[in-house]
Amino acid sequence: MNPPLASPSSSTAPLSRFLDRRGFLRTAAFTGGAIHLVTSKTAIAQQTAAGRTIKCALIGCGAQGNALRIASKDVPGVQWVAICDIWKFSWARMQSAMQSENKHQVDGKVVVYENPEEMLEKQPDIEAVFIAAPDFLHAPLSRLCLSKGKQVYCEKMMSNSIEGGRDMVRAGKEFGHVFQIGHQRHSNPRYINFRENILKKNRLMGRVTHCYAQWNRGVSGSQPQGEVKGFPLEESVLAKYGYNNFFEFRNWRFFAKYGGGPLSDLGAHQIDMFNWMFESKPVSVIASGGVDYYDGKDGRPKFELPDNMMCLYEYNTPDGVLRCYYQVLTTSGSQGAYEKYMGIQASGIISEDEKRGNQLYGEPGSDFAEFTTGDNPIIKAPPPKNKFWEQDRDWEKPKPPSYTKIGLADVRESKALTQYELGAVNLRAAHSPHVQNFIEAVQMKKPEHLTCPVEMAFESCVTVLKAYEAAQTGNKYIFKPEDFAA
C-alpha cells in the first residue's frame, strides 16, 4: 500500500522562472555531466528512400512515451531498438511491449539505458530519437541528439521556458536535421480539413470573430502520483538527473523547475490551434488563474503552478480583430476538451475526440449544399434535436409543461442552426498521423515535409508562456516582435 501523499518541502518558484535565462542554462548543464551539449556535426551515413526502416530510440517511458509507442504501431518503417529512462517501473513495461511488437523483425531486441549519452554512443545506428522526457529536459536532450546526427521528434510543450524553446530553434538551424515538435493536431486529417477547406479555401465560416477552447479535467483525473510498490528510485539517481525528490519526479508537471502546469500540458495543444488555424501570432493576452485546489490545505499536496487558468488572446487578421478565449480546469471535467470557432456565416466545433465536437453549424441564410457531395469537407446532418423531449427514447411519458399553450407561445429562442458533420475522419490513434509525418520526413530526409517544425512550435511556446506573465502582473501583455524571434 502506498503511503499517504504529502507535499515535499520545497521553495515555491515564481511564475517568472519560466523566463529565467540562468535557470535554463543551469538545466542545460544537466546534472553532473550526464549530458554535455556537444557540437560535433558527425552523423552516420544513411540512405534516402521512402518506406525504408528507421531505427528509433525513445527517451522517457512514461505515459506520453507510451502514447508514442502505441501511435507508432501502424506507422510503416518504425523499428524500436533502444529506450532510455531512469525508473524501472516505466522502462520494464515499455521494453516488454516493444519487444513483443518487434517479433516480426529480424532483430527485435530493445536495449535499455539510463543515460542518453551512453545510448547514443553504444548504438550509433539509431537514426531517429523520440523525446518524451519532462519539459525541462526537452532543450538539452534535443540539442544532444541533433548534435549526434539524429533526427528528433520532441514532445510538446517544446520547453517550460522561452529561453529553452529559443535554444531548440537555434539547435535546429545549427544542425539542420529533421526536427518535429509533438503538436499532433497539425497532422490530424480532420483538423487539416477544417483549416484548409472550411476556413481557408471555401471560407464557409466567413469572417471569424471569436474562438473558444477548453480542456477541463475533474479532480479525479488530476490526482498526484505516488510511490509504486516494488519499484523504488534512489535519491542519488534523482539528484543526478535534476530532481529534488520522488514526489516532484512523479508530479513534475506542477512544478516550475520541470514543467508548465496544465496550461502547458493541455492548453499548449489548443492555444497552438489559434495560431495555426489563422496563420497568425497574438498581439495581446489577458490571463487569470491560480492554485485553486492543490493548495496544501486539508491534506492536499501543494503545487507551484496554477491548476486553473483562463486566457483571452487578441489577434489582428486580414478580416479584422479576432478574440480567442482559452480555459483549462482541474477542478471540473465538465464538457471535456474541444475547440469552437465562431464566424459570421457558421460556427465550427472540433475535438480530437469526435464525440466532443465534429460539427459545422450554418447561420440562417447560409447555403452549403454544394460542399456536401463528393470529396467536399462537410456532410449534411439530420435536423438537430435541441429539446430533451425530441431525443429518441423507448418509453412513453407525459409531455412536459412547455408543451402547453404558454410554452408554445414563447418565441424568444433563436432559430436552430443547420447542422453539418465534418467530412474528414481520423480512425487511428491521435498521435499516429503526426508520428507518420515525422517518419516520412526522416525516410526522405526532407525537413520541409514536417507539419510542425520547431520554428512553428516556438511561436506557440511563447504564446502559452506569456500568459503566465500576464496572470502574474494582472496586466494585459502586449506581444513584441522580438518575443517570437529566436
Query: pLDDT tens digits, residue range 7-18?
Result: 333 333 333 333
The pLDDT tens digits for 113-129 are 999 999 999 999 999 99
Contact present, 315 and 209 (Cβ < 8 Å): no
Contact present, 350 and 339 (Cβ < 8 Å): yes
**AA identity, residue 99:** Q
Which residue in the block uniquely carries the three cell numbers 523520440? 130
Q: Which of 99-103, 164-168, 208-212, 276-280 has the lowest mean pLDDT?
A: 99-103
The pLDDT tens digits for 35-54 are 333 333 334 445 667 789 99
**Beta bridge mates, 328:** 215, 309
Q: What is the pLDDT of residue 216?
A: 96
Where do runs of H (alpha helix) occur along 154-209?
162-175, 189-193
Q: What is the pLDDT of residue 310?
A: 98
Q: What is the pLDDT of residue 376?
A: 81
List phi, psi (to 5°) of 157.
Answer: -60, 145
Residue 438 in this model has a pLDDT that exceeds 80 = yes
Q: What is the pLDDT of residue 416?
A: 77
Q: What is the pLDDT of residue 102?
A: 81
Q: How far apart are CA 350 and CA 339, in angstroms?
A: 5
Q: What is the pLDDT of residue 50?
A: 73
**AA identity, residue 260:** G
Residue 313 in this model has a pLDDT that exceeds 80 = yes
- Would you place residue 235 in the very low, low, confident or very high pLDDT band (cuts 50, 70, 90)? very high
Residues 278-304 have a mean pLDDT of: 96
Taking the model in full, what pTM does it have?
Answer: 0.86
- Would you place residue 413 in the very low, low, confident or very high pLDDT band (cuts 50, 70, 90)? low
Residue 271 in this model has a pLDDT that exceeds 70 = yes
Q: What is the pLDDT of residue 400?
A: 54
Residue 29 in this model has a pLDDT that exceeds 80 = no
The pLDDT tens digits for 84-109 are 999 999 999 999 999 998 876 767 79
List phi, psi (to 5°) of 262.
Answer: -60, -30
Q: What is the pLDDT of residue 36?
A: 34
Taking the alpha carbons at both ends of the chain, their separation in whole angstroms is: 48
Write down how long the chain is: 486
Contact present, 342 and 210 (Cβ < 8 Å): yes
Sheet holding 477-478, edge to edge: 378-380, 418-422, 358-362, 346-350, 337-343, 208-216, 320-329, 308-317, 284-290, 477-478
**AA identity, residue 247:** F
Residues 71-86 have a mean pLDDT of: 96
The pLDDT tens digits for 131-190 are 999 999 999 999 999 999 999 999 999 999 999 999 999 999 999 999 999 999 999 999
Which residues does 44 contact at the CB level (< 8 Å), separation at least 6? 124, 125, 127, 149
Share of the chain above pLDDT 70, in %: 83
30: left (phi over 0), alpha (psi -120 to 50) or beta: left
Q: How far apart are CA 115 and CA 193, in angstroms?
A: 41
SS3 29: helix
Q: What is the pLDDT of residue 104?
A: 66
Q: What is the pLDDT of residue 435?
A: 98
- Would you place residue 356 in the very low, low, confident or very high pLDDT band (cuts 50, 70, 90)? confident
Most confident of 29-38, 125-134, 365-374, 388-397: 125-134
Q: What is the pLDDT of residue 397?
A: 55
**313: Cα within 13 Å, side-chain hemisphere:** 31
- Would you place residue 4 in the very low, low, confident or very high pLDDT band (cuts 50, 70, 90)? very low
Contact present, 285 and 324 (Cβ < 8 Å): no
Which residues does 251 contact at the CB level (< 8 Å), separation at least 6? 224, 225, 301, 303
Q: Which domains does the chain have, with CATH numbers?
A: 15-186+431-453 (3.40.50.720), 189-193+350-425 (no CATH)
Q: DSSP class of residue 302? A: B
- Would you place residue 405 in the very low, low, confident or very high pLDDT band (cuts 50, 70, 90)? very low
Residues 363-368 have a mean pLDDT of: 92
Residues 335-350 have a mean pLDDT of: 96
Share of the chain above pLDDT 90, in %: 76
Residue 478 in this model has a pLDDT that exceeds 80 = yes
Contact present, 243 and 301 (Cβ < 8 Å): no
**b or e along 298-319 (b: 16 or more beta carbons within 10 Å of the residue's beta carbon)?**
eebbebbbbbbbbbbbbbeeee
